[in-house]
Structure 1
Amino acid sequence: MVQGTTLLLIDRPGNQLDHLVGAFAPEGLDVGYGDPYAPRSVVLPPSPGQAAQILADRYLPSYEQAIHAHQNADIATALGYIRSEHRTWQTLSASGRFSDATPLSAAAFGTSTQMFLDHAWHRFLVVIDHAPTLLDRCRPDRSPWPDDAAALSHLADAVADAKALVDEIRSGQVSEAERRNRSWLAIKTWLTDGEVFLRQVRVSAPHRRPSLPVTAPPRPPAAGRATHRGP
């Protein structure tokens, strides 16, 4: 198991000694089969030491990098949708009319606001799921933008508040009106500083792991030479 994911080992087609290994059910790669971020399977030789080194040096780093890229892309997509829908709502609010120029009543505006907040919250659940792990990897002091530290702190606080809100919703302690008000505070923070997060995550992707030492199997003595047995 690797980060909750079962590795699938199969015989390599057309080869009696080598094997192929890949993630059978990749945790963190929600799309599964066909996910563009999923790492490719790798060929493992029959030597256990060499196979372990290939897993440690190639497959596991590729797997971690794939999850990192996938989660970052999911957050970027969610924030993009929320930002687009927010602009639409702002246009509606400023004009006081629907897109077909029909006047917007107070009741209709209230309904459209609730719909926007509900859709935004649904999108934001992706951020709540993925952001904590990615935020932990960010090191703004080692990046070209050390001043991003304050914004990242605000984003982390907003996610923590949103996670607490999720728990309260599940326990039935929050009304719909309160959920909309509190969730919007967290979402608004991410709309403000989301680009800071995305650029920090891009430069904080996991790196390749150091190579594992490979223990070579003992070599048999050369033909025709005596083997030293000691005194």
Structure 2
Amino acid sequence: MPPAPLTQIVLSTSRTHGLVAIAHGEEHHRAAQDLAEAGFQRLPSGAFAAPLADRPSALRMARALVHRAREHDITITASTRPFLADFGHDLADRLPGTWSAELQIYGHPLIQEDLWYGLWEAGEIHRALQDHQIPYSAVLRNGTGTELLLVERPGHRTGYLLGALTEHEKEDVRADPSTPRTLVLPAEADLAAHAAARTFLPAYRRALHHRDLNTVLSALERIRAEHETLQAIRESGRYSDGVPLAGTRMIPEVEATFADYAWLSFRHVLEHAPALLSRCRPALTAWPQDAAVLDRLRTAVADSQEAWAEDRGLSGVLFCADGWRRARSRFGLAVLPAIETWLAHSAVFERQARAAVPGGPVALSAPSPRLLTARPATPAVSRAPAAHR
């Protein structure tokens, strides 16, 4: 990000509020005070406004603002675009479904860095946040978890950038193959909404599908490695370093340790797999026989709902570390048959889910080589695992 600019007040016009001013910079509180002292009214969003209907009054406030800004070395900049919140509302009104738009102001330059935690975007918005100060944005929401980031296109007199936000953990957006890409929007709301509905939103839904699928596959791969260790211990009667178990009574303890670990990952399967399974249409693929396997996977998910609901119900409950471990072990042991079902059929799930990418014909999507499940889920294990459990 470039060095912070001098404190500035950005002026734009709004059909609803008249003249709108947004303070930005290290001394943004001083700039906001100047706006208030000049007669501008603070809006709920944090912007300030002066009605233009009374032209003499508006001119007086403008002159007073210029005088105060000069006293405090604050730059006043006139935007070449209308008020961003107006364009955001116009865009939201034209998108399919029900959307809202909320103006967000990043008064201090460092506040802009908060965007990085939610940005799920590797295109032009990503570069814009690296190379420019972004004083404000509009966040569009549809009430079902979709959040989009709308900003003015830096370095251009017109146009906007539309990107994606997420509350989920994510890979490095520059390396994650599921990361959505910025859409450059024109200044006309009708054209912008058409482009977003026809191009960005379908691509965003596909990106969500890939992200959720990769999340499930990653979770299963983590479980698989531990499950192979468990199987080896069961078959050999020895820990992974070759030390014999102290009798078969130790097997339940080993299984409890596995269940504790496996539950942490299997929760991701329970969260994301149902939507992915709902999109699968095996009859339309080259593997219609997969339908029976998908039914078994759905049953495994259904059989895990009681433990999943109890786990969510414990959110916010204070336990000691050992208490949480026992709870996770109990949940993991309760759903162990479901976990083993998913491990056994993960390859079938993957090929059907990749064939079910929304917004296009049924076809295999390009997998992430790092996540592709290519081997049987529960191979016979004759070796001692590498780590002592």
TM-score band by shorter chain is 0.7 to 0.9
Contact 2:229 2:240 in 1 (8 A): no
Of 154-163 and 100-109, deviating more is: 100-109
Q: Which residue of 2 aligns with 1:214?
A: none
Which residue number corresponds to residue 267 of structure 2? Answer: 125
2:289 alignment partner in structure 1: 147
Does the 8 A contact of 1:85 with 1:116 survive in 2?
yes
Runs of at least 5 residues in structure 1 that lack an aligned partner in the other structure = 210-231
Output one character per residue of 1:34-65: Cα deviation in whole Å (capped at 9) or x when no partner.
Answer: 37222111100112222112101211111111
Equivalent pair of 1:58/1:208 in contact (CA under 8 Å): no
How far is 1:182 from its partner?
2.4
Deviations 1:173-196 (A, max 9, x none): xx9576344210211111122211
Answer 1 or 2: which has greater strand percent: 2
Q: Which runs of 5+ in 2 are unaligned?
A: 1-140, 315-325, 362-389
The CA RMSD over aligned residues, in Å, is 2.3
1:161 paired residue among 283, 303, 311: 303
Does residue 1:53 correspond to 2:203, yes or no? no
Letter in 2 for 1:19: Y
- Which of 113, 137, 152 is the aligned partner of 1:11? 152
C-alpha distance in 1, partners of 2:180/2:336? 36
**Number of equivalences:** 205
Out of 214, 218, 239, which is 1:98 matched to?
239
Q: Does 1:82 align with 2:223?
A: yes
Q: Which of 191, 199, 210 does residue 69 from structure 1 map onto?
A: 210
Tell me which protein shows more helix as a share of its residues: 1
Give the conservation status (yes or no) of the 8 Å contact 1:117–1:184: yes
Point out the more displaced range, 3-12 or 73-82: 3-12
Divergent runs of 4+, >4 A: 169-172, 175-178
CA contact (8 A) 1:78 1:127 kept: yes
Please report how far the alpha carbon of residue 82 of structure 1 lies from its aligned counterpart in structure 2 after TM superposition: 1.3
Partner SS state of residue 304, structure 2: helix
CA contact (8 A) 1:20 1:43 kept: yes
Quote the residue 1:223 is aligned against.
none
Question: Is the contact between residue 262 and residue 332 of structure 2 (CA under 8 Å) also seen in structure 1?
Answer: no
Does the 8 Å CA contact 1:124/1:187 hold for their aligned counterparts? yes
SS at match of 2:352: helix
Q: How does 1:189-200 map to 2 (within 5 A)?
A: 189-200=341-352
Identity of aligned residues (%): 39
Superposition pairs of residues 35-46 of structure 1, within 5 angstroms: 36=176, 37-46=178-187
What's the secondary structure of 2:163's corresponding residue?
Answer: strand
TM score, norm. by length of structure 2: 0.49
Deviation at residue 33 of structure 1 after TM alignment: 7.1
TM-score (norm 1): 0.80
Greater relative contact order, per chain length (Cα 8 Å cut-off, separation 6+): 1
Q: Which has the larger radius of gyration?
A: 2
In the alignment, the residues of structure 1 paired with residue 266 and residue 336 of structure 2 have an alpha-carbon distance, to the nearest angstrom, of: 10
Partners of 1:33 and 1:73 lie apart in 2 by 14
Tell me the distance in 1 between the aligned counterparts of 2:171 and 2:342.
28
- Report the more deviating stretch, 175-184 or 13-22: 175-184
CA contact (8 A) 1:57 1:208 kept: no
CA–CA separation in structure 1 for the residues paired with 2:312 and 2:180 = 35
